[in-house]
Amino acid sequence: MSTAMNDVMIEAEGLTKSYGKPGARVRVLDGVDLRVARAGIHALLGPNGAGKTTTVRILATLITADSGTALVAGHDVVTDRRRVRRAISLTGQFAAVDETLTGEENLRMMARLSGLSRARARERAEELLLRFGLGDAARRQARTYSGGMRRRLDLAAGLVGSPEPGVFFLDEPTTGLDPRSRRELWQVVRDLAGRGAAVLLTTQYLEEADRLADRITVLDKGAIVAEGTPETLKSRVSGHRLDLVLSTDEAYLRLAARAVHHSPETRTLGIPTDGTAAHARALLDEIDPHRTDVDRFSVHGATLDDVFLALTTATTEAPAHV
């Protein structure tokens, strides 16, 4: 692997990882390549078990890959773990703060553990509390914080002793948050990237990746199946989609194979289209020449849901009553 360039903060090649006993090992990563730029947000998408968290844990030096190489902030994740850990912040699905301490006490404790003097720890805590919108709650116990506030405190704690802008690993950071708290955290993440940080985000929320990410990597069964900007990925599954509500189960099953979106409960299928009226009419004439199979239809722009469903492994389901 070449030395990471100044604008590349994460560079991984050929990462593999398997778990299990000899003779019954399951490969969860199968040759993953990844590059994450400075001052950007890169999202990892994929179904449960696709390898997203395993990738993050390898890059954050929590586990070791079976093969492959990776540099984070220019440091090898195997031979230079200490420097990697000084350059990164890792936030998991649950905020890692002491709820019996105040917000200020949490940050001062983390600063002291990072080697800062008492005076500098106090200054750093004050800086971060103000920056993350927690100044008014600084002397309240963390147990009184909302979920979004605890998340912001968790992110602030990760910055206490790390040189900025650094690298942020956010592993499903908005799990369990209400919509308002999610949006507040999104702004914090944007601010981190705006200050020059490289952010690697895993999420189950496709809207989150669409709103935040500059680039997206789609994982399925431990392998990369697509990578690009959100708009590029949407164009891969067609710029628009013709949603059809079918009148019978037989019509649904007959057309399911050509659809990029399936909703068996409502007998709805999404068919790629270029979005023009002419193409929509032509598709309807082709699909339902006798005008008996389609009850209703609508045309809308492709979403990351379409990308996710089209590019990752899924079983095409028949309606529940078939």
pLDDT tens track for 197-228? 999 999 878 888 989 999 999 999 999 999 99
pLDDT the model gives residue 4: 42
pLDDT at position 30 over 90: yes
Beta-carbon count within 10 A of 22 CB? 5
DSSP structure class, residue 141: B
Of all residues in the chain, what percent carry a pLDDT higher than 70?
Answer: 92
Q: Are strands 8-19 and 26-37 parallel, antiparallel or unpaired?
A: antiparallel
Element housing 261 (H / E) = strand 261-263
State the average pLDDT over residues 290-298. 94
pLDDT the model gives residue 313: 65
State the average pLDDT over residues 87-103. 85
pLDDT-wise least confident of 62-71, 149-158, 236-245, 278-287 = 236-245
| Phi, psi angles (nearest 5°) of residue 142 | -60, -25
State the average pLDDT over residues 137-144. 96
Three-class secondary structure assignment of 99-132: CCCEHHHHHHHHHHHCCCCHHHHHHHHHHHHHHC
pLDDT the model gives residue 49: 87
**Separation between Cα atoms, residue 202 and residue 209, nearest integer Å:** 8
pLDDT tens track for 223-243? 999 999 988 887 776 568 899
Contact 239, 49 (CB under 8 A): no
pLDDT the model gives residue 238: 58
Contact 156, 126 (CB under 8 A): no
pLDDT the model gives residue 2: 41
State the average pLDDT over residues 74-84. 96
pLDDT the model gives residue 94: 66
Element housing 68 (H / E) = strand 67-72
Average pLDDT in the chain: 88
Starting at the earlier edge strand, list the strands of the sheet with 240-246: 261-263, 268-273, 240-246, 294-301
pLDDT the model gives residue 74: 94
pLDDT-wise least confident of 93-97, 132-136, 157-161 = 93-97
Q: According to DSSP H, which parts of the chain are helical?
A: 52-59, 81-87, 103-113, 118-131, 147-159, 179-194, 206-212, 230-236, 249-255, 277-287, 304-311
pLDDT-wise least confident of 49-53, 92-96, 318-322 = 318-322
Domains of the chain and any CATH numbers: 8-100+164-228 (3.40.50.300), 234-311 (3.30.70)
pLDDT the model gives residue 321: 37
Q: Which residues contact 155 (CB under 8 A, 6 or more apart)?
A: 89, 91, 132, 168, 173, 185, 188, 192
Q: Which residues contact 23 (CB under 8 A, 6 or more apart)?
A: none
- Which residue would you say has higher pLDDT here, 302 or 38? 38
**Separation between Cα atoms, residue 6 and residue 14, nearest integer Å:** 21
pLDDT at position 317 over 50: no
Tokens of 250: 């037989």
